[in-house]
Chains A and B, each alone.
Chain A
Amino acid sequence: MDAGLAELAVSGSPFPWLSLIVLLPAAAALMLPLVPSSEENPSPAPKIITLVVLLVDLLLMMGVFATRFDPSTEGLQLVERVSWLPALGLEWSLGVDGLSAPLVVLSGLVTLLSVAASWSVQRKSRLYFALMLVQASAQGLVFLSQDFLLFFLAWELELVPVYLLIAIWGGQNRQYAATKFILYTALASLLILISGLALALSGETFTFNLTELAARSPGGSFGLLCYVGFLIGFGVKLPMFPLHTWLPDAHGEANAPVSMLLAGVLLKMGGYALLRFNVQMLPEAHATLAPALVILGIVNIVYGALNAFAQDNVKRRIACSSVSHMGFVLVGIGAVDALGISGAMLQMVSHGLIAAAMFFVTGVFYERTKTLSIPNMGGLAKALPITFAFFLASSLASLALPGMSGFISEITVFLGITSQEAFTSVFRSITVLMAAIGLVLTPIYLLSMCRRVFFGPRIPALASVADMRPRELVIGLSLLVPTLVIGIWPRVAMDLYEASTNALALQFIAS
């Protein structure tokens, strides 16, 4: 344990790259109010500054991970530890491993693209883009923080921009949706905090350091209690049945770029935190409760899919499809073998890209049609063929078409659950059967949506509407090309985290 700590201290990089990645957007956010802009004559400066900062940040992430991060080792790398508030035991402690690296890059990419997708936001644009930047910092901190208190502060901090982004720039029912979002997540946060504090207080020394907490790995009913607290807390974000009902409301009201953030980044925090806390810190409790996770996962998959089929609003339907797809993350985590956890990781990355793409394209045609109600649409393809191509491509990706990332991630989860010897064969059979039913339901609700929105005779009212512009094309391709690349050559993503997920799974084989 102490040896491990010493090693961590030694391996700390001389330059705080991770802090730079995390703090750069926040620093830029502080600058934005100084940019002159008015409601009547909004200046393009805020969005350009935001875009450039986030692009630099993304390049920085990729550069740092490519050159200074060794994916073949499992432990934390680029560790930075600075005591911040010793009275509280709060440390500025960052580090990256295979679990965080892919998600950091994913969130960097999705945030950048969602800013690019916000090009037409005029109202209070300085505040809007400043919130986007704060959000970027907060989510980076969530994925990189190695101190529980710091993690928790970041977790809470990220709620504020999302809440305001929904509440100010949302649709008709934005107040309701935003409040529901904040109520759900804030109440859930209390459970996270209580569990985390309990863990911190449980040992001989008081510490918030995640590595030290993980080394304690308390078992028994105490461990189980903490586990359940975390599970509910993170389950809201994932979202996990029955805590998912905030999601369709939030997506239904948020504008498309914020939906991209919600689906592409926020949901992934839930999955990441489950891996980081529930699996890594409380392996004993996880081994006990894994079957429950698997069951919740298949409920998510089937229940989410059925809900999606009945939704009449494009964004609410995609939101329910997110519930369904995130069920695979739960099943994968519950499978507790290398394949399952690997599948869960890949599903997070894959769903982040695909759901962001779907919401983005939805935003593209919403700007042109001003409606999201499926029964009131039809025949869009004649007017917007390229938009149709993108929506169809993302739908196909979402229904786990091979060659796209969704297939390899879901099949890995399937293989993970199939090869988990610890479960009885009946349990495994039923799980695989139910999850496969989800695979049949997905094309039903996605393709019927495509049919009802895009297929059919031309609509005269849309004759003069322009199809996707170059900016929109670039955004769409930036999401779909990675989906394809991972789908064709999954090791691009898998090699990044394989060492870490294998190590996580090894815990359970040993115990």
Chain B
Amino acid sequence: MPSAEELAWLIPVLPLFGAVLTGLGLISFNRTINRLRKPVALLLISCVGAAAALSYSILFNQLNGAPPVEHLFVWASAGSFVLPMGYVVDPLGAVMLALVTTIALLVLVYSHGYMAHDKGYVRFFTYLALFSSSMLGLIISPNLLEIYVFWELVGMCSYLLVGFWYDRDGAAHAAQKAFVVNRVGDFGLLLGILGLFWATGSFDFQGIADGLQNGLTAGTVAPWAALLLCLLVFMGPMAKSAQFPLHVWLPDAMEGPTPISALIHAATMVAAGVFLVARLDPLYAQFPVVQTVIAVVGTITCFLGASIALTQMDLKKGLAYSTVSQLGYMMLAMGCGAPVAGIFHLVTHAFFKAMLFLGSGSVIHAMEEVVGHEPVLAQDMRLMGGLRKKMPVTSITFFIGCIAISGIPPLAGFWSKDEILGQAFNSYPLLWVVGFLTAGMTAFYMFRLYFLTFEGDFRGNDTAMQAQLLTAVGKDPSEHHAHGGSVHESAWPMAAPLAVLAVPSVLIGLLGTPWNSRFAGLLNPEEALEMAEHFSWGEFLPLAGASVAISVAGITLAVLAYALRRIDLGRLVAGRFPAVNAFLANKWYLDVVNEKLFVRGSRKLAREVLEVDAKVVDGVVNLTGLLTLGSGEGLKYLETGRAQFYALIVFAGVIGLVVLFGVIGGPIA
């Protein structure tokens, strides 16, 4: 019986098998397969479930100290070059496998409820399985090129799922934007991979790091070139993990169905960038400059996301900017040279943010009963309020998520965020200040979301507000038909995953306490020992206390403003500083800049090139051709259309030439 590690290749293959089976079915027997909802869901859930079981047994083995396993085979070759592919299982991979399969499984169950009324139910499940497969493949990739393969594949799944409701224009634009922005990142990643291969002859993580080190010592690689390559590779994670300024696709990607926002755009795919930076730690650890860049980018992202989240009125967009901000924290940890802390936050964040997103999906699902299938209305918090009494499970889990992300001990977010802030405090005190302030903003905007959604009075039947929201996006309110139903708690397929996710959101942080971090012990035993040795309450308490204090301050402000309504922030802040408010509401004007500079610029350039092609290139070549013919005969044929026999004339002429040359050539032969 082979060990679980030996069977690790099955983890991505199982969901792939399910996806291919249903995908082929959808193409060839569309109607029949679309009716087989339950069997398809069961098949795919069992595929992912089996992958999850395998992942857990691998994690269990790794916890018990099993050695890492790597298997390679030759995928492509030419001349002396061979391109190996394969799979690797190590502690980092094992953690990610367990994380991704768990959340994928819960999201599949949740989707059974969320997509129950959607005609694309089977297609949705197929895409989900395909995504799970690609994401799991990414995790077990042993080298950069294979990572790139799955990197693009998860991007494709994201494209398909963001554009899932293809009759919505917003979804169409968002999907394209997500793919193109990610391609910009992948452009850098690919150049970096090629350059590193050139410099080191390797795609393997350790091989690249060692090769570059040797190249630098031997003087075959210039230091600036090495830096440039590292930064180019970092462009990939910047796009995938929504780091400034390539984060612009993520908020738009909320056009996709909410389970997708939870799985892909909060818990797993967007974390792939952080994961890749962790994998590349042996490389980046050699270059303090690169690490500083990563830390600064992470901090900017962290602050930017939180600041924009302050003013969002769309529940999902608010959560999306919060994700951007939290990904910034993870990247900051990577920049501080603390990959374990970054990955730890990745794990805790995955649980509570998936829960928050699924909770928002539950809310949206309920809101649709009242305001109809219109995302502009169903996701806007100005129409929500008072949902706690009607949706107890959703509101309690959402509340837990808010505490967890705000960093209140002993919930998950506290331990991981505090770890990152502690690392930042030691490495980059200035960045720590920003991260620290952001923690306060995080607590404020999360509780703002909570209070606006779940407390106060229900505002969903406010038709004047509905009309105002619809007009704001250019839709005609008279064409819209509200359902006029009532809000109620979601059925068990949606409620159960929320409850399950609440458990790790509360408890999982305890695995990473700084004095006895089981988590660090798994990923990097030496670092864990060192952490435990150097731990002192005197250092820990002031920093942790400060973080908790600023979070509590943020929560208090939110309570005063949105629960007790003692202060009116709109009048106090937005009224007094309209520029700041406009800056945040317009998302730092980055979309405007993108539109003006890149979208219109590229369109204009392309149009000009086509103009040149049609008038100049075509003209010159045509003219040369005609001059060669020596007369206007060709033109005459073009115009009169008597060209039917032209081919034959040319053909005969050519034959004549051949004969002529043949006769001349004959005697020589």
Q: Which residues of A contact B (CB under 8 A)?
A: 85, 87-90, 149, 152-153, 156-157, 159-160, 163-164, 167, 175-176, 178-180, 182-184, 186-187, 189-190, 193, 197, 200-201, 205-207, 241-243, 245, 303, 306-311, 337-339, 341-343, 379, 381-382, 385-386, 388-389, 396, 401-403, 407-408, 411-412, 414-416, 418-419, 428-429, 432-433, 436-437, 439-441, 443-445, 447-448, 450-451, 454-458, 467, 473, 477, 489-491, 494, 498, 501-502, 505
Contacts and interface: CB of A to CB of B under 8 A. Distances in A.
Nearest to A174: B641
Contacts of B643: 167, 175, 178-179, 182
Q: Which 5 A-B pairs have the closest CB atoms?
A: A338-B79, A206-B669, A455-B172, A88-B662, A310-B610
B166 A455 contact: yes
B177 to A, nearest CB: 10
Given A306-B610, A382-B167, A456-B167, A88 B79 contact: no
Contacts of A89: 662, 665-666, 669
A490 B194 contact: no
B98 interface: no
Interface in B627-669: 628-629, 634, 637-638, 641, 643-644, 646-648, 650-651, 654-655, 657-659, 661-663, 665-666, 668-669
Given A342-B78, A501-B78, A186 B609 contact: no
A432 B643 CA distance: 43
A189 B74 CA distance: 42
Given A187-B629, A450-B176, 12 more contacts: A89-B666, A163-B647, A341-B78, A343-B78, A389-B26, A402-B153, A416-B78, A419-B197, A443-B179, A451-B176, A473-B27, A489-B75
A187 B669 contact: no
A429 B228 CA distance: 12
Contact of A401 (B152, B620, B654): B152
A87 B666 contact: yes
A451 B638 contact: no
Contacts of A433: 191
B651 A193 contact: no
A415 B569 CA distance: 57
Interface string B395-422: 0000000000000000000000000000
A454 B646 contact: no
Nearest to A388: B166
Nearest to A149: B658
Given A200-B665, A451-B172, A498 B183 contact: no
B183 A440 contact: yes
A403 B149 contact: yes
A405 B109 CA distance: 34
Nearest to B653: A186
A490 B75 contact: yes
A447 B658 contact: no
A93 B323 CA distance: 67
A473 B30 CA distance: 12
Given A193-B654, A382-B167, A436 B187 contact: yes
Interface in B1-50: 26-28, 30
Contacts of B617: 241-242, 245
A189 B654 CA distance: 9
12 contacts: A85-B662, A167-B644, A187-B628, A205-B669, A381-B167, A389-B27, A415-B81, A447-B175, A451-B173, A457-B167, A457-B169, A477-B27
A208 B503 CA distance: 80
For B152, B175, B613, B663, the residue with the greatest tally of chain A CB atoms inside 10 Å of its CB is B613
A385 B663 CA distance: 61
Contact of B30 (A338, A386, A418, A494): A386
Nearest to A509: B79
B167 A455 contact: yes
B625 A414 contact: no
Interface residues of B, number: 81
| Chain B interface helix/strand/loop/mixed | helix
Interface in B138-163: 145, 148-150, 152-153, 156, 159, 163
Interface of B: 26-28, 30, 74-81, 145, 148-150, 152-153, 156, 159, 163, 166-167, 169, 171-173, 175-176, 179-180, 183-184, 186-187, 190-191, 194-195, 197-198, 602-603, 605-607, 609-610, 613-614, 617-618, 620-622, 625, 628-629, 634, 637-638, 641, 643-644, 646-648, 650-651, 654-655, 657-659, 661-663, 665-666, 668-669
A121 B621 CA distance: 34
Contact of A439 (B149, B173, B187, B609): B187
A491 B76 contact: yes
- Scoring A88, A184, A412, A501 by chain B CB atoms within 10 A of each residue's CB, the highest score goes to A88
B638 A502 contact: no
Contacts of B190: 414, 436, 439
Contacts of B650: 156, 159, 182, 186
Contacts of A343: 78
B157 to A, nearest CB: 11
B153 A152 contact: no
Contacts of A440: 180, 183-184, 187
Contacts of B610: 306-307, 310-311
Contact of B606 (A179, A205, A306, A432): A306
A412 B76 contact: yes
A115 B655 CA distance: 29
Contacts of B602: 309, 441, 444
A87 B657 CA distance: 14
Contact of B651 (A160, A175, A183, A428): A160
Contacts of B654: 156, 186, 189-190, 193
B657 to A, nearest CB: 6
B646 A182 contact: yes
Contacts of B662: 85, 87-90, 149
Contacts of B194: 414-415, 418, 432
A303 B159 CA distance: 26
A89 B663 CA distance: 10
A187 B79 contact: no
B439 to A, nearest CB: 36
A246 to B, nearest CB: 9
Contacts of A87: 662-663, 666
A246 B503 CA distance: 65
A152 to B, nearest CB: 7
Nearest to A487: B149
A341 B605 CA distance: 32
A178 to B, nearest CB: 7
B647 A160 contact: yes
A387 to B, nearest CB: 11
B222 to A, nearest CB: 10
Given A306-B606, A490-B76, A419 B81 contact: yes
